[in-house]
Structure 1
Amino acid sequence: MNWGNGIILVFVAFVAVMATMVTICMKQDDLHLVTENYYEEEIKYQEHIDKVTNSQHSAKNALSFDPQSKVLTLNLPVGAQGELHLFRPSDARMDRKIAVDIQNAAANTVNLKSLQSGYWKVKLNWEEKGQGFFEEQKIDL
């Protein structure tokens, strides 16, 4: 084999590997974006920043997680309303959204035993006396 044939063989092998990689990438259909409405949510980001600031100025944390019993406690006052988003970064199909309406101070826990084990982000978005709040916590089940 001479140099010319070796160089052609290397180029052909390179093109074959690149074509294989492109084919594999194009056949993937289970791509999950973090959010479907990315641009709409980007516009609302200042409102989100205000909610986070309000939460940081409050005296207590709204979320507390007990890893032993897999129970999430919402430390919210009676009358608070909002949404609890259980966010799984690795698979959007596992995400859960739960409406929060604190009517009784004793009933403010969420059992997370039914969720698949792994890394989760818990996002709590609520309103209290007309003021918005947001808190996020990373948990490992």
Structure 2
Amino acid sequence: MKINWGTGIVIAFALFMSFILYFVFEVQSNSKYDNDLVVEEYYKHDSHFQDEMARIQNAHDLQQRPSITYTEKGVKIAFPATFENDKVKGNVLLYRPSNKKFDFDTQIALTNSALLIPQKKLIKGRWDVNMEWEYKGTKYLSKEVIYVN
């Protein structure tokens, strides 16, 4: 049987489409390829964008800002000494972009104007730190990226 060039093109397209569909189904059905959203309910999250930007601006306008650093003991969040420990309220979200199973929240409870998140809670790699806090009725938001070694 002789195959002309038109039949060859149709066969080539069919094989190529089968190849692509195989990989699409493989990625969607295999749990090894995790394709979660970065933020659940992102439409609701984006509707509060202006409020978030105002809180970021409040944090940026501070004369002395809290610092977020990584030490061998863990992640240290140090507030300026001028802040009263008992008036700072809020939480810290440590977000792992590569795997949301490692994400966790911590309430801000200052000791000597600092908060320490222990090393045992962290794994090596990149962490996005979102710190939302309130001090004397003003809301603030700080976002930083740290790398744990």
TM-score norm. by structure 1 comes to 0.85
RMSD: 2.1
Deviation at 1:107, TM superposition (A): 5.2
Aligned to 2:108, what secondary structure does the other structure show?
Answer: strand
The answer to whether the 8 Å contact 1:32/1:91 transfers is no
Pair 1:82–1:38, CA change in 2 (3 A): same
Provide Cα deviations, 1:52-81, integer angstroms capped at 9, x if missing partner: 011001022313313444332231521200
Whether the 8 Å CA contact 1:52–1:135 is kept in 2: the answer is yes
Q: Look up the SS of the partner of 2:124 in the other structure.
A: coil
- In the alignment, what sits opposite 1:12? 14
2:69 matched to 1:65? yes
Paired-residue identity, %: 24
The separation in 2 between residues aligned to 1:114 and 1:45, in whole angstroms, is 30
1:136–1:112 CA distance, 2 compared to 1 (3 A): farther
* Consecutive unaligned residues in structure 2, runs of 5 or more: none
C-alpha contact 2:77 2:114 (8 A) present in aligned 1:
no
Query: Equivalent of 1:21, from 10, 20, 23?
Result: 23
Q: Which residue of 2 aligns with 1:49?
A: 53
Q: 2:90 aligns with which of 82, 91, 107?
A: 82
Q: Which runs of 4+ in 1 moved over 4 A?
A: none
Q: Which amino acid aligns with 2:24?
A: V
Give the secondary-structure state (helix, strand or coil) at the position aligned to 2:94.
strand
Deviation digits for residues 31-72 of structure 1, max 9, x if unmatched? 221111211121111111111011001022313313444332
* Cα distance between partner residues in 2 of 1:133 and 1:10: 59
> Which string of whole-angstrom CA distances, capped at 9 and with x for unpartnered residues, describes residues 3-37 of structure 1?
34532431231122122123123314532211112
8 Å CA contact 1:63, 1:135 repeated in 2: no
- Which shows bigger deviation, 2-11 or 131-140? 2-11
Q: Which amino acid aligns with 1:135?
A: S
User: What corresponds to 2:117 in structure 1?
Assistant: 110
> C-alpha distance in 2, partners of 1:58/1:41?
25
- Is contact 1:61–1:75 with CA below 8 Å preserved after alignment? yes
The equivalences for 1:114-129 within 5 A come to 114-129=121-136
Tell me, in whole angstroms, the C-alpha distance in 2 between the residues paired with 1:50 and 1:112: 32
